[in-house]
Structure 1
Amino acid sequence: MSAISEEAWRITLTVILEELDEPQYKKMLLFLSEIPKRVKTKSREEMPQSIIEHYGVETSIHRINEVMDQIPRKDAAVQDRLRPFVDKLKNTQQKTGKKRKRSETVLKSVDRKDEAGGQKSCEPDETAGPERPKKKKSRNRSLTPTRAKKTPKVSTVSEKEWKKALSAVLGKLTNSQYDEMLTFLKIPKQKKTAKFKEQLPQKIIERYGVETSIRKIKEALDRIPRRDEVVQKHLRPLLDKLKNKQKKGKRKSCQPDKTGTMKRKKKKAESRDPSLQSTQTAETPRAASASRLQDSDPSEPAELKLEEPDSALSLNGATKTPKGQRAPVQTGRIKIKAVTATKKTNTHLVVTVKRQLKELFVKTRLLAEALSCQMDESVEARIRDALPISAEAKMEGKRIIEIKKI
C-alpha cells in the first residue's frame, strides 16, 4: 500500500491539469503514450482518475513530473503543487531501499553464525567453563554525528517579483532587440499584440522556471547588448539574490565527517554559471553559440538548427584552410537574425540559410554599403536597428563575400 494518499494526489493532479492551456494539455496526453486513445477522449475532470488507474499513485507522480519538465511547465503554479508529492515519493523509495539492505545483512549474518556454530560443535572444548554473557556496549548518541535532513530546494526569488521585473525589462527593448530576445529564448515569433507582450513573461517562466529564466535573460541582454542602467536596475537585485543563495549552498557543503575532517562536496554546475558574473563581461560569439546549443529545449520542434561553429573562424576574420584548397562558393537568400560581434574590419552574424541557423562573418564596410550606412562610430547601432535583414549573398565557407539587401 502506498504511503501517499491517493485522494490527496487526485485532487492535486486535478488542479495541475486545470493550470494547463489547451496546447499544453494536448502535449501532456501525447507524452502519456501508455494510456489508450479512447481514454484520452475523456474530460479534464475525469482524466486524473484515469491516469491514477492506469499508472498507480507512485508511478503517476513520477510520469507527471517528467511530463511537466518536457512541456515545459516549471513555474510555481505547477511545481509548488507537484514538489511535495515528488519529495514524498523519494523519501519512501529511500526507506524501502534501506529496509532491503538491512534484511540482506541480517540474513548474511545469520548464515555466518550458523556456519561458525557448526564448526565449533564438531570440536567440543572440555576445559572451557560456562560462557559469560557479553556486555552490550552502550553508545552515547550525543557523541555520534547526526546527518542533516535535506530540505527541498525552493526558489529564493518570488515568481511574482520576477514576473514584474521581467515585464519592465521587456518594455525597455526596441523592436529589433525584442526580436533578438525571442530568437535567443527560442520562442516562436508572433504578432506583437498587447496580449502577446502581456503573456510573454509568464510563457518565459513556464518554459525555463524562475531561476533559469533569470540567467537566460541575463545572457540575452549581454548579447543584444543592453547593459545600461535603464534595463540592468530591474535585473540586478534578482541576480544578487541568486548569488547569495549559491554562497549559502557553498557554506553548507562543508560539513565535518566522523573523523572530524572537513570534506568539501562537489561543486554544482550552477556555481560556475557565467551568467552570474559581472555585467561588464561579455560572451564571445563561440561561447554564445555553444550556450544556445546546450540550452535547446527537447520538447520544441527542431525547425531551425545551428551549425557547429567552425574552429577555423576567428574574430579578426582570418580562416585557416588547408593549402591548395578553398571553400566552395554558394549564392542564395539569407536573413540576418542577430549580430554577435562588430569590429572595424568584420561583423559576425547569426543568419538563416535554407531554414538553418548559421554563424557567418562579413566585412563591416561591405555590410554598411548594403544598408547605405556610413562607416562611423554609430555603424553598429544602425546595423542592429535594421534587423532582421533579408539579403542576397554570395558565401565562401563562413565568409560573406558579396551581399545585397532586398
Structure 2
Amino acid sequence: MWEFVSKIPKQKKTKKLKREMPQKIIKQYGVNESIQRIKNAMNKIRKDPGVQDLLRPFVDQLKSKAEAEKKGTKRKLSETDSKAEDMKSEAGKSSAASDSLDVEQEAEGKNDGKLTAKDEPGRLPQKDRKSQSWRISIGELKASGNPGNKAIGGKIVQKSGLRTYQTRNKEKKFFFNLGVADETASIKVMVYGRERYQDIQEKSCYLFREVIMEGNDIKVTKLSKVSKTPQIDVPENLEMEARMLIDLQAPVFSIKQAKISAEKTLVSVEGKVTEIGSVENIKVKNRRGKKDKQDFKLEDDTGSIRITLWGEDIKHLRGVSCGDVARVTNVKTSHFQDSVSLNSTDSTKILKVQSAAVQSVTIEIIGIRKASGTQTELEAELSHNNEVQPFVVASSLLAGALGVSLGGGFEDRLLDKMPFSADVEIKGNQIIKIKSVK
C-alpha cells in the first residue's frame, strides 16, 4: 500500500502502522481522494471481490457526485449564456468584450474585490459569516489552530463509548470521543469526565466554547461550555470523515482478552461472523413489556464469543452475513456462571471489514430448522468434507429448485423431497444460487 501512496512518508512496517494506515491516508488526502487512491492501488494489488466489493459503494458514490457536479456546471453555463443573450439584445451597441464582462458579473455576483466562500476553503458561506460572526468554522479552526473567543459549532456524527485512563496518582478517570463536522471540515473532540456523556447525543448539533486545542483535536474540560444549537447541514463526505475519526481509533480487544475482562467492561472486538440467530421478542427482567433481541457469534484466532444486540441495536447487523469479517465497537462484557458474552450499548456499532467470499459447492440438504414464505433455515452436508452446517436461503429460490409451491404446507412439501442434492453458490451461510443435481 505504501508503495502506491507516494505523498505519505515511508515508515517502518509495524502492526501499529497497519492499524493507523487508514487514518493517516485520510488525513493526508481527505476522504474523496483517499477512496480514489485506494481504488487505484487495489487495482494493482488485489482485484478479488473480497476487496473490490467493499470499495465499489464508495467509488460509485464519488462517480455519482462527479456526474451531479458536471450537470450543475453545464446548467450554470447554460443560464449564463441565456443571460448574455438578453444583455446583448438590450445593450445593442456594446462590444463583445463588454458583454462578456457584464455577463460574468451578473452570473457570479459582484463582490467588490472581496473573496467569496468559494475562494476561501474552510470558511463559512458569506451570508452565514455575517449572521454568525461569533462562530468559527472547523475548517478555519484547523487552519489557524486557535478559536480565540469564538464558538466551535458542529454536528455530532459519531460518539464513542466511555473510556478510562489513569492519572499519575493511578486515579481512574473517564473520557469519551466525538466525531464532529460542520459545512467545512470534520474534527475529533475529546470530552473529559462522564457527566456530559448522556447529554451529548449523536445527530444533534452543539456549540463548544473555552476548549483546549491540541494538534488538530479539541479537548473539552469541565471548564468548557457546551450548548445545543440549531441543525447544521453537513456534506455526506464530511460525515463519513467524522465517523471514521472515531471508528478507526476504537481500541480492539482479541476475543480472549474480552473474555478475561471484568464484568461490564466496554470493549471492541473484530472477527469472522460464524452464526446469526433470529430476532426474538422476549420479556426483560425488571422491565415492563418485551424487547427485541438478536444473537450472533464472532470468532478470531483466539476464540469465539456470543454477542447480543438489544432493541434498535439490531439494525446494525443488517447487511452482515455469516463469513463476513466485522468490527463490533462499544459492547459490554457479561459474566454468567462460567461463560462470558457481550451485550450491545447505546453506542454500539458494527462495521463490515471484509465481505465473505462467494464459493461454489455441492451440498445435500438433510434437515429444515425453520421455513416461512420468505426465508428458510436448513441444515446441509458439504460434499467435499462431509461437514454438516446451517444455511439460510430465500424460500422462493428453494421452492423453484425443488419444484414445489410456496404457501400453506410448504415445510411438509420440502420434507417430502429430502434428502436433496444441489449445486449452490454460498456467501458465508447464505445460499444465493441453487440448482438441483439429478
Give the TM-score of the pair, scaled to structure 2. Answer: 0.25
Pick the structure with more strand per residue: 2
Computing the radius of gyration over CA atoms, which structure comes out larger, 1 or 2? 1
Give the TM-score of the pair, scaled to structure 1. Answer: 0.27
Larger RCO, structures 1/2 (Cα 8 Å, 6+ apart): 1
